[in-house]
């Protein structure tokens, strides 16, 4: 009887053990890792900056008035001639109406003077008129013609003043700032809407003096979006600030983007890295390199969320430093695992940690 109880107990324990293993296998999921992107522009620290338009115009009214409407907002795309804002224009409309009435009156006087002059000329040609009266008619016609010209000029000026109450875009672009609201009094020449041309873009960064000293117009940079580190473009220095900021003691540098993609929109945050020459090798953090059975790193496949073992060739002397120089085996923009490299397997499913570096 004791033997049967022992066998039954062993069977229960065995089933319980199998159940625990199955439960453990079921709950195990993708291994969380910390990773970073390597390649061009990753060897040294970067400088954060904002994408701006190279050409940007502050548009305002030429006359003083109250803002009646502003149909555009920040981020709107506008075309040349599109209405950006309007002023209250009742007084300007009245001036135009008055000028049009004066012009019609002057034209009527000129028509009457023309008839009188023609009649006096006919009488003079027939020898029935008086020369002095004909000359007076001739002078009256010239005066009437001058009055018409004056009325036309006044009307043109009144219409111009009315046109000044409408602010229009001078070129195709994007609204980057609005400086006046409906009902607000806008001074003549004060900015109301800022429109930028999106075709030519640049990244504005601030660098310390020790970096500024090595920069020249045309110095190449690699710029990466902070939201998507895989998206990178090259750029060159266009402008170097001659003086440092009095508070931060940094100098402003403007980098023109060469063939920027749609991701580098105005206002996007990017990081600028000094571009190494083509012969400059990549460097990766020492903790990403596994030694022992060869020298290799784990490459992250972001689409499949797996890792792959990659044998690399390195400068052995750099293995004793924080940054290992990779001579062969890595390409620009690839992502390598930084933490947990000794616990990974080929093709293992992984989960990128929020601490992963861009």
Q: State pLDDT tens for residues 14-24.
A: 444 444 444 44
Same domain, 158 and 249: no
Least confident of 102-106, 166-170, 181-185, 320-324: 320-324
The predicted model gives 114-137 an average pLDDT of 82
Q: What is the mean pLDDT of residues 52-60?
A: 92
The alpha-helical segments, DSSP class H, found in 47-200 are 90-125, 131-163
Helices 90-125 and 131-163: crossing angle in degrees, nearest 10, is 160
Mean pLDDT within 84-95: 94
- 176 and 123: one domain? no
Residue 16 covered by a domain = no
Task: With respect to residue 4, please indicate whether it lies within any of the assigned structural domains.
Answer: no
The whole-number average pLDDT for the span 223-231 is: 83
Q: Among 96-100, 202-206, 327-331, which stretch is predicted with the lowest mean pLDDT?
A: 327-331
pLDDT the model gives residue 177: 92
Q: How far apart are CA 327 and CA 239, in angstroms?
A: 34
Q: Is the pLDDT of residue 4 over 50?
A: no
Helix (H, G, I), strand (E, B) or coil at 295: coil
Q: Which CATH number belongs to the domain containing residue 299 in this structure?
A: 2.40.420.20
Residues 294 and 186 in one domain: no
CATH number for the domain harbouring residue 125: 1.10.287
The pLDDT value recorded for residue 23 is 43
Residue carrying the six token digits 């660098």: 207
Can you name the residues that pair with 323 across neighbouring β-strands?
A: 285
Q: How many CA atoms lie within 13 A of 170 on its CB side?
A: 12
Q: In this predicted structure, what is the pLDDT of residue 277?
A: 57
Whether residue 100 sits in one domain with residue 174: no
Residue whose C-alpha is closest to residue 192's, from 325, 60, 48, 357: 60
Domain that holds residue 141: 90-163
Q: Return the percentage of the chain with pLDDT > 90, whole number.
A: 45
List all residues 6 or more positions away from 218 whose beta carbon is below 8 Å from its beta carbon. 236, 237
Which region among 107-111, 144-148, 229-233, 343-347 has the lowest average model confidence (pLDDT)? 229-233
SS3 state at 161: helix
Model pLDDT, residue 339: 82
The average pLDDT across 173-180 equals: 92
- On whether both 354 and 267 belong to a single domain, the answer is yes
Residue 11 pLDDT grade (very low, low, confident, very high; cuts 50, 70, 90):
very low
How many residues would you count in the chain?
358
d(CA 315, CA 187): 66
Mean pLDDT, rounded, of the chain: 83
Q: Total domain count for the chain?
A: 3
pLDDT at 176 over 80: yes
Token pair, residue 245, equals 């900021």
Q: Is residue 129 part of a domain?
A: yes
- Quick one: pLDDT at residue 49? 94
């Amino acid at each position: 009887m004791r033997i049967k109880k022992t066998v039954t107990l062993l069977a229960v324990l065995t089933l319980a053990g199998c159940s625990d293993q199955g439960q453990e296998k079921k709950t195990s999921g993708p291994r969380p890792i910390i990773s970073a992107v390597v390649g061009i522009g990753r060897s040294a620290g970067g400088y954060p900056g904002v994408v701006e338009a190279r050409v940007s115009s502050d548009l305002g009214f030429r006359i003083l008035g109250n803002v009646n409407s502003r149909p555009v907002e920040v981020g709107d795309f506008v075309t040349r001639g599109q209405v950006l804002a309007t002023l209250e224009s009742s007084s300007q409309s009245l001036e135009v109406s008055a000028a049009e009435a004066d012009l019609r009156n002057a034209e009527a006087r000129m028509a009457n003077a023309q008839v009188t002059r023609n009649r006096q000329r006919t009488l003079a040609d027939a020898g029935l008129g008086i020369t002095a009266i004909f000359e007076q008619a001739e002078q009256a016609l010239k005066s009437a013609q001058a009055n018409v010209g004056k009325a036309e000029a006044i009307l043109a000026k009144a219409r111009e003043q009315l046109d000044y109450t409408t602010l229009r875009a001078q070129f195709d672009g994007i609204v980057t700032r609005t400086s006046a609201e409906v009902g607000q009094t806008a001074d003549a020449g004060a900015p109301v809407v800022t429109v930028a041309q999106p075709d030519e873009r640049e990244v504005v960064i601030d660098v310390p003096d020790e970096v500024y000293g090595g920069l020249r117009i045309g110095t190449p940079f690699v710029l990466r979006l902070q939201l998507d580190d895989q998206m990178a473009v090259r750029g060159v220095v266009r402008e170097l600030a001659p003086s440092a900021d009095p508070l931060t003691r940094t100098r402003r540098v403007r980098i023109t983007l060469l063939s920027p993609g749609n991701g580098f929109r105005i206002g996007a945050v990017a990081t600028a890295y000094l571009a190494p020459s083509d012969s400059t090798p990549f460097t990766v953090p020492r903790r990403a390199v596994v030694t022992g059975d060869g020298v290799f790193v784990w490459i992250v496949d972001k689409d499949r969320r797996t890792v792959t073992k990659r044998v690399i060739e390195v400068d052995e002397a750099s293995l004793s430093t924080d940054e290992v120089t990779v001579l062969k085996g890595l390409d620009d923009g690839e992502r390598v695992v930084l933490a947990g490299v000794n616990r990974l397997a080929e093709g293992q499913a992984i989960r990128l940690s929020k601490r992963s570096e861009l």
